[in-house]
Each structure stands twice: as structure tokens, then as C-alpha cells.
């Protein structure tokens, strides 16, 4: 994959770190309980890149959305993402022992706590979006997240992924694209368009950006599973190949997959043209997605 220039890398790293700090500080105020359930919820959120929350904050900034509302939405998507990972890691799903270089929630606590922490994170996300700070466009924001994370979105994608493991024939490229657009792409799309939705503005350009970004993100994940260092990735690698699972890399080949990711990154950047220089940080996010090592 194409290397990202050092100045661009630094700028994006600084912007992402700032977003992580703001979201974490907000989480500390909104998720302030001291029992084991709250501890497991915080543990599940912390340690990730918080890319989805970053996308919410950036799209909100582009549309002049109030900081307090933007942080509620950013924390909400990180809760949904964390809940999905906690449940995906369970023995009944992917049965993973490591996440972000640390024991998964069911390994640090137990399976019961992992289920409860995931359930609580999901419901807490919608509690955050129902806060008065979100403003007059809360309903479409809530409906959008329910659709993106539920039976026609992320959960549907996970179901298709599980079904593929026992299928007699590997998935086709179109089938994998559909699967990943639901499992990964839907939440990225919600994140990137949240600012426009909260502002009651047209989200067309950000939606096109997010569609390309989400697919590029998954192709990069498949590449990392082949080329990545487990110590940097923070979880086991080469699991897909060992399981004989169809991926973008297995269907396209490694070099073609890298070219496809590069093309999608360029499409994502082109979609932001209406925003001019104000969208440069979002463009750097797209470049980061195909160049990351974790």
C-alpha cells in the first residue's frame, strides 16, 4: 500500500490523538460508575484507535455542530463498536483471546460479564443519542444508528460472516463486498455522516466518502491479516488463511487488493471536494486507513 508522507502522518496522528483524548475525557464523565460492569465497559472502549468517533467529530466540525452534541455522538459510536468487538470475541463467535494487544473482555473477566458489558454498551449508546444536547435532529441520528448496527447493518454482516464459515463454496467478490459493507461499512458511514445529520444538512458527499473509506478499511484489514505483525496488530493474524476463508486478498491477490485499496482511498478524497481545504483531515484519515499497521 502507498506510504503516507511523514508530515501528513504527523498531522493525522495529532488530530486522532486529540479526538481520542476528548472522547476518553467525555467517557470518564458519562460512564462514571465504579462497579465491575462499568470497569468492563470502559476496558472495552479504551485502547482502540477511536477512528469512528474521530469521524463523527470531524464531520460535526465541518457543519458547525456544537462540541457537546458531537462528543455524545462520538462516544455513542465507540460504545456500539466496542460492544460488537466484545461479542465477536466470545467463544461462540470468533473465540479470540486478544484484542488491541490485551486480553479480551471474556478472558479478563468471564463470558457472562462480556455479554453484560456488550449489552450495556449498546443500550448506553442510544441513551447518549437521546440526550437533549443532540438537538432537533436526534431522531434521524438514532434511527440511522439502529439501522447501521442492527438486522440490516453490522449484525447482518456478522451473520453472513458466520454463515460463510460453514458454506460449501467460498464467497464471491460481490458477496464479500456486501458482507463487509454491512459488518464494517455501515458504522463508518454513520460516523462520517453524523455531523451532517445533526446539522440537518445534505450528507451526500460524506456518504460517498464513507462508502469508499469503509471498503478500503476492510481491504486493509485483509492485507494486515496476511502481512501484519501480531504484536503491532494487537490480535492474531493469518487466521483467515488458516481457516480457508475467502477474503479480498484471496480473491483479488495481494497486489491487486493493495491497488483496489489505493483507488478507494482516492475516491474517498475526491468525494470531499465540496468541502475544500476544511476536509483535509478527513482526507488524511483515508490515507491512514490504507497505510496503518494495526
User: What average pLDDT does this structure show over 264-272?
Assistant: 97
User: What average pLDDT does this structure show over 155-159?
Assistant: 94
- What's the CA gap between 10 and 287, in Å, rounded? 12
Least confident of 71-75, 82-86, 100-104, 161-165: 161-165
CATH tag, 6-289: 1.10.600.10
Beta strands 98-99 and 102-103 are: antiparallel
Percent of the chain with pLDDT over 90: 79
- What's the CA gap between 2 and 289, in Å, rounded? 11
Q: What is the pLDDT of residue 237?
A: 57
- What's the CA gap between 42 and 86, in Å, rounded? 12
Q: What is the pLDDT of residue 169?
A: 84
User: What average pLDDT does this structure show over 138-148?
Assistant: 98
Q: What is the pLDDT of residue 229?
A: 63
Q: What is the pLDDT of residue 39?
A: 97
Q: What is the pLDDT of residue 256?
A: 94
Which residues on adjacent β-strands are paired with residue 102?
Answer: 99
Residues 11, 38 contacting (CB under 8 angstroms): no
Q: Say if residue 2's pLDDT is above 50.
A: no
Q: Say if residue 1's pLDDT is above 50.
A: no
Coil vs helix vs strand at 94: coil
- What's the CA gap between 222 and 107, in Å, rounded? 25
Q: What is the pLDDT of residue 165?
A: 82
Domain boundaries, the chain: 6-289
- Nearest CA to 85 out of 36, 135, 45, 37 is that of 45
- What's the CA gap between 286 and 269, in Å, rounded? 7
Q: What is the pLDDT of residue 11?
A: 84
Segment holding 216, helix H or strand E: helix 204-227
List pLDDT tens digits, range 22-78.
999 999 999 988 899 999 999 999 999 999 999 999 999 999 999 999 999 999 999
Least confident of 35-49, 82-96, 159-173, 206-220: 159-173
Q: What is the pLDDT of residue 3?
A: 47
List pLDDT tens digits, range 175-232.
999 999 999 999 999 999 999 999 999 999 999 999 999 999 999 989 998 886 666 5
Average pLDDT, the chain: 91
Q: Say if residue 80's pLDDT is above 80.
A: yes
Return the higher-pLDDT residue of 232 and 137.
Answer: 137
Amino acid at each position: 500500500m502507498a506510504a503516507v508522507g511523514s508530515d501528513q502522518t504527523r498531522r493525522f496522528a495529532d488530530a486522532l490523538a486529540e479526538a481520542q483524548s476528548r472522547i476518553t475525557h467525555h467517557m470518564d464523565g458519562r460512564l462514571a460508575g465504579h462497579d465491575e460492569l462499568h470497569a468492563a465497559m470502559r476496558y472495552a472502549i479504551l485502547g482502540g484507535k477511536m477512528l469512528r468517533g474521530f469521524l463523527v467529530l470531524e464531520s460535526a466540525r465541518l457543519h458547525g455542530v456544537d462540541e457537546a452534541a458531537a462528543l455524545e455522538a462520538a462516544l455513542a459510536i465507540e460504545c456500539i463498536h466496542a460492544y460488537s468487538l466484545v461479542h465477536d470475541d466470545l467463544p461462540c463467535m470468533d473465540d479470540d483471546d486478544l484484542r488491541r494487544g490485551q486480553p479480551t473482555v471474556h478472558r479478563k473477566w468471564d463470558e457472562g460479564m462480556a455479554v453484560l458489558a456488550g449489552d450495556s454498551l449498546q443500550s448506553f449508546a442510544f441513551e447518549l443519542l437521546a440526550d437533549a444536547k443532540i438537538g432537533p435532529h436526534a431522531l434521524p441520528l438514532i434511527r440511522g444508528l439502529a439501522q447501521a448496527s442492527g438486522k440490516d447493518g453490522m449484525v447482518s454482516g456478522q451473520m453472513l460472516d458466520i454463515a460463510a464459515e460453514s458454506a460449501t463454496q467460498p464467497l464471491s467478490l460481490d458477496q464479500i463486498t456486501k458482507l463487509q459493507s454491512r459488518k464494517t461499512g455501515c458504522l463508518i458511514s454513520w460516523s462520517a455522516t453524523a455531523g451532517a445529520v445533526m446539522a440537518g444538512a445534505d450528507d451526500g458527499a460524506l456518504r460517498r466518502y464513507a462508502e469508499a473509506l469503509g471498503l478500503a478499511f476492510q481491504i486493509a484489514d485483509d492485507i494486515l491479516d496476511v502481512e501484519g505483525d501480531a504484536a503491532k496488530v494487537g490480535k492474531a493474524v493469518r487466521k483467515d488463511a488458516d481457516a480457508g476463508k475467502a477474503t479480498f486478498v484471496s480473491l483479488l491477490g495481494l497486489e491487486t487488493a493493495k491497488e483496489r485499496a489505493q483507488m478507494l482511498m482516492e475516491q474517498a478524497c475526491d468525494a470531499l471536494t465540496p468541502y475544500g481545504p476544511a476536509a483535509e483531515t478527513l482526507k488524511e484519515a483515508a490515507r491512514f486507513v490504507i497505510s496503518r499497521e494495526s
